[in-house]
Each structure stands twice: as C-alpha cells, then as structure tokens.
Amino acid sequence: METKVKTLPWRKAKPKSELKVKSSSKKKIWQNYELYLFLLPTIIYFIIFHYIPMYGILIAFQDYMPTQGVWGSPWVGFEHFIRFFNSYQFWNLLENTLELSFFQLLFGFPLPIIVALLLNQLRNQKYKKFVQTVIYAPHFISVVVLVGMVYVFFSPNGLINNFIMIFGGDPVYFMSEASWFKPLYISSGLWQETGWAAIIYLAALAGVSPEVHEAAIMDGASKMQRIRHVDIPAIMPTAMILLVLSVGNLMNIGFEKAYLMQTPLNVSAGEIIPTYVYKVGLQSAQYSFAAAVGLFNAIINFILLWAVNRAAKKLSGSGLW
C-alpha cells in the first residue's frame, strides 16, 4: 500500500509554463513601471505599519519617553525583562498562555480533520451541503457576540444552568469560577471554528480522484479502510502545513476573546501574556515594559514554530521552509 500511494496521480506536481520575457532586467523594470506603481501603496503600508514597529521593538531595551522618541530615550539593557521574570505574575502568565494554546491545538487541530473525513463520506449530497452551510456559519460571528453568547448561556439562570437543574443538579457559576475559564474558552472556540477549518481538508479530499476509491472498493476495502489508506494520506501534506501555521500563531491567537471573557473572579486563570501586555502597556502606559513582555512572547512563539517545523519535516517531509 505504501509504495502504491507514492505514485498516485494527485501527488504529482503540475508542470508550470513560465513566461520568459527576453530582455535585460533594466528594460524589464522600465517596461513594467506601472506594476511598481501598483505595488507602491502596499509597500509603503508594510514599511509604516509593520517594519517601523519592528524597529520600534528597541524600546523594550530603553526607558521610552514619548517626548524623546526611540533615539533619545536612555538605554537600560535587559532591565525590563529581568523585572518581568522576577514579577510574581510571571509563572502564572506563562502557564496560562501555554496551557490555553496547548489545549486549543490538541482539540482544534484533529477535530476539523475528523469532521471533513466524515462529511466526505456522506452519500446524500444535498444533506452534505446543508450540514456544511450550518457548521460554517459561526465563523462569521464576531468575538464580542460570541463571548456575549457565552455570558448569557452560562449565566446562573442561563440556558446551561436551566438544563443542569432539569436533571436535578445545582447551578454552576461558570463565569466567576477560574477553573471554568479554559474549558469555556476552548469549547466555544471549537464551536465557532471547527466547521470553517474543515473546508480546507474537504478541498484536499475533493482532489482525490474517484478511480482510486473505486479501485479500493474493488479490492474489498471498507469505508473505514478507505479513510485510513486513501483519504488520510491525501490530506496529510495540508494537515502538516496547517499544523505548522497554527503553532506559528499559537501565542498570539484568541487574545481578544480571552480579554473579553475575563471577569474579576476568573482572571487568575484567564490572564495570558498578550492581555497582560495590553493592560500594562496601554492602560497604565508602561510602554517599554510592555514591549519587553511582548517581545518575550514573540520569542517563545518563534521557538515553537521552529521546533514544530523541524518535527514536521522529519516526520512527513513537508514543512513550511
């Protein structure tokens, strides 16, 4: 089976026809000056709103004063980092951030794959379309509305507690108990994004030629066997790239939701590094300290990305770079 899979038609790369313009590069640039004008606003945008802020990270090593600017402010080296590592919140923040990211990935990565594989096996095309339309929908709900729904459903007299009481249970104060923050965060995320995340896998599955399935049926393969030996190998490269990408954004994602879900009583479980940066940096205007914390977060993020890309390349041969 293994050797057969390698030569299946959908794995072959399509040859690309390159348009070769035979002229010196100088002439090429002059000929296409309009294309550079097309690009110009976007280049300016990236420089101003992405590259200048990258340069602005320097303030993490300074005592930034708005009147002095990035050049005039005094340098302090790693003082802000040391202060952050020694602060009483450091371990709690790190633990919350990593735990939330880890569980999000643990459930959020495999679930869309399972849903896509199951949807792909539905025989009734109309019903399949209908299910798809329904499960994509929550993706378009805004964070504010999603968190608002969590608040009303999980309030002491909300839908969930009414349900618990029907079965004779006692109402649970979900939003004011720290231990419920992470489960609610993860499960509401799954509710919102699973269907949408399945689309990409469905596209990959649609690319499998029907002949392969027919041949497998000829050989007496059951549906489970076809999922195992045809479908899963077909979506493996997509899955690997998505895994690497989602690890690459692990430390950044969901920060708005975490901020909105925080209440004074659950904040001990809900405070993550990005929300902390926002509070310290913008609410109490400690720009340099917050920039240092943000940089620390970015560095952890990069280490994770690098590690998972390496692992993905070793395991399956396909990585991001």
Site for another protein in 151-210 (CB under 8 A): 151-153, 155, 157, 159, 162-163, 165-166, 191, 195-196, 199-200, 203-204
Q: Pick the closer one to another protein by CB: 3 or 206.
A: 206
CB atoms within 10 A of CB 204: 20
Say how far apart CA 276 and CA 16 lie, in whole Å: 48
Nearest alpha-carbon partner for 136 in 117, 154, 116: 116
Among the listed residues 87, 121, 268, 316, the single contact to another protein using CB under 8 A:
121
Q: Pick the closer one to another protein by CB: 269 or 305.
A: 305
Q: Which long-range contacts (CB under 8 A, 24 or more apart) does 148-151 make?
A: 149/188, 150/175, 150/184, 150/188, 150/261, 151/175
Tokens of 184: 């609610």
Site for another protein in 125-154 (CB under 8 A): 130-131, 133-138, 140-145, 147-149, 151-153
Q: At its nearest, how many Å lie between another protein and the CB of residue 105?
A: 17
Which positions from 211 to 250 touch another protein by CB under 8 A, shown as an x/- string?
Answer: ---x--x----xxx-------------x--xx--x--x--
Whether 289 contacts 281, CB under 8 Å: yes
Q: Pick the closer one to another protein by CB: 53 or 91.
A: 53
Among the listed residues 57, 94, 265, 311, the single contact to another protein using CB under 8 A:
57
Give the HSE-up count for residue 9: Cα atoms under 13 Å, Cβ half-sphere. Answer: 7
Among the listed residues 93, 212, 253, 295, the single contact to another protein using CB under 8 A:
295
